[in-house]
Amino acid sequence: MRHDGSTVGLATVYRALQAMAASGEVDSIRTPDGQIAYRTCTPGHHHHLVCRSCGRTVEISLPGLEEQTRKIAGQYGFAEIDHEVEFFGTCADCSSK
Protein backbone atom coordinates (compact mmCIF):
# COMPACT_ATOMS: atom_id res chain seq x y z
CA MET A 1 0.00 0.00 0.00
CA ARG A 2 2.84 2.37 0.80
CA HIS A 3 4.34 1.59 -2.60
CA ASP A 4 1.10 2.89 -4.13
CA GLY A 5 1.31 6.10 -2.11
CA SER A 6 -1.08 5.17 0.71
CA THR A 7 -0.06 5.68 4.31
CA VAL A 8 -0.94 2.93 6.73
CA GLY A 9 -0.07 2.94 10.41
CA LEU A 10 1.05 -0.19 12.21
CA ALA A 11 -1.90 0.12 14.62
CA THR A 12 -4.28 -0.03 11.64
CA VAL A 13 -2.61 -3.21 10.39
CA TYR A 14 -2.95 -4.87 13.81
CA ARG A 15 -6.59 -3.79 14.18
CA ALA A 16 -7.31 -5.30 10.76
CA LEU A 17 -5.54 -8.55 11.71
CA GLN A 18 -7.46 -8.74 15.01
CA ALA A 19 -10.75 -8.22 13.17
CA MET A 20 -9.81 -10.89 10.63
CA ALA A 21 -8.96 -13.31 13.46
CA ALA A 22 -12.28 -12.58 15.19
CA SER A 23 -14.17 -13.33 11.98
CA GLY A 24 -12.22 -16.53 11.29
CA GLU A 25 -10.42 -15.22 8.20
CA VAL A 26 -7.02 -15.80 9.82
CA ASP A 27 -5.85 -17.77 12.82
CA SER A 28 -3.83 -16.25 15.67
CA ILE A 29 -1.47 -18.05 18.01
CA ARG A 30 0.89 -17.03 20.77
CA THR A 31 4.43 -18.02 19.88
CA PRO A 32 6.77 -19.58 22.47
CA ASP A 33 8.40 -16.16 22.97
CA GLY A 34 5.02 -14.54 23.76
CA GLN A 35 4.35 -12.78 20.46
CA ILE A 36 1.04 -13.10 18.61
CA ALA A 37 1.40 -14.51 15.10
CA TYR A 38 -1.27 -14.58 12.41
CA ARG A 39 -1.62 -17.22 9.71
CA THR A 40 -4.12 -18.36 7.14
CA CYS A 41 -5.70 -21.76 7.68
CA THR A 42 -8.03 -24.02 5.82
CA PRO A 43 -11.60 -24.03 7.13
CA GLY A 44 -12.63 -26.68 9.62
CA HIS A 45 -11.18 -28.00 12.81
CA HIS A 46 -7.55 -29.11 12.67
CA HIS A 47 -4.31 -28.90 14.63
CA HIS A 48 -0.80 -27.64 13.89
CA LEU A 49 2.90 -28.43 13.98
CA VAL A 50 4.83 -25.15 14.35
CA CYS A 51 8.57 -24.64 13.88
CA ARG A 52 10.09 -22.72 16.79
CA SER A 53 12.81 -21.36 14.56
CA CYS A 54 11.16 -20.17 11.32
CA GLY A 55 7.46 -20.32 12.21
CA ARG A 56 6.57 -22.79 9.45
CA THR A 57 3.18 -24.28 10.25
CA VAL A 58 1.75 -27.58 9.04
CA GLU A 59 -1.91 -28.45 9.49
CA ILE A 60 -2.37 -31.97 10.84
CA SER A 61 -5.27 -34.29 11.57
CA LEU A 62 -5.39 -36.31 14.78
CA PRO A 63 -7.93 -39.10 14.23
CA GLY A 64 -9.73 -40.03 17.42
CA LEU A 65 -8.69 -36.95 19.38
CA GLU A 66 -12.15 -35.35 19.28
CA GLU A 67 -13.84 -38.46 20.69
CA GLN A 68 -11.15 -38.85 23.36
CA THR A 69 -11.56 -35.20 24.32
CA ARG A 70 -15.32 -35.62 24.75
CA LYS A 71 -14.81 -38.81 26.82
CA ILE A 72 -12.28 -37.20 29.14
CA ALA A 73 -14.39 -34.08 29.53
CA GLY A 74 -17.45 -36.20 30.34
CA GLN A 75 -15.53 -38.09 33.02
CA TYR A 76 -15.01 -34.78 34.80
CA GLY A 77 -18.49 -33.42 34.16
CA PHE A 78 -17.50 -30.94 31.43
CA ALA A 79 -19.56 -30.26 28.31
CA GLU A 80 -19.32 -28.02 25.24
CA ILE A 81 -15.56 -28.54 25.03
CA ASP A 82 -13.36 -26.52 22.68
CA HIS A 83 -9.65 -26.99 22.30
CA GLU A 84 -6.60 -25.94 20.32
CA VAL A 85 -3.63 -28.22 19.84
CA GLU A 86 -0.28 -26.81 18.77
CA PHE A 87 2.88 -28.89 18.71
CA PHE A 88 6.10 -26.84 18.69
CA GLY A 89 9.36 -28.25 17.39
CA THR A 90 11.99 -27.68 14.72
CA CYS A 91 11.22 -28.33 11.06
CA ALA A 92 13.51 -30.40 8.85
CA ASP A 93 14.93 -27.34 7.07
CA CYS A 94 15.87 -25.61 10.32
CA SER A 95 17.21 -28.83 11.84
CA SER A 96 19.62 -29.31 8.95
CA LYS A 97 21.14 -25.81 9.27
- CATH number reported for the structural domain that contains residue 57 in this entry: 3.30.1490.190
Report, as an integer, the average pLDDT of 22-46.
82
Mean pLDDT, rounded, of the chain:
87
Strand 47-51 relative to strand 57-60: parallel, antiparallel, unpaired?
antiparallel
Q: Do residue 53 and residue 12 come from a single domain? A: no
The DSSP annotation for 3-35 comes to TTT----HHHHHHHHHHHHHTTSSEEEE-TTS-
Which is more confident, 92 or 46? 92
pLDDT at 49: 93
The number of distinct structural domains making up the chain is: 2
- Going by DSSP bridges, is the β-strand pair 86-89/47-51 parallel, antiparallel, or unpaired? parallel
Residues 56 and 50 sit within 8 Å (Cβ to Cβ):
yes
How much is the pLDDT for 77?
97
Q: Are residues 57 and 30 in the same domain?
A: no
| Percent of the chain at pLDDT exceeding 70 | 97
What digits encode the pLDDT tens for the residues 49-69?
Answer: 989 888 888 999 898 999 999
Q: Is the same domain home to 34 and 54?
A: no
Alpha-carbon span 74 to 38, nearest angstrom:
32
Domain with 64, as residue range(s), is 44-97
Among residues 96, 95, 84, 93, the alpha carbon closest in space to that of 29 is found at: 84
pLDDT band at 96; cut points 50, 70, 90: very high
pLDDT at 70 over 90: yes
Identify the DSSP state of 61: -
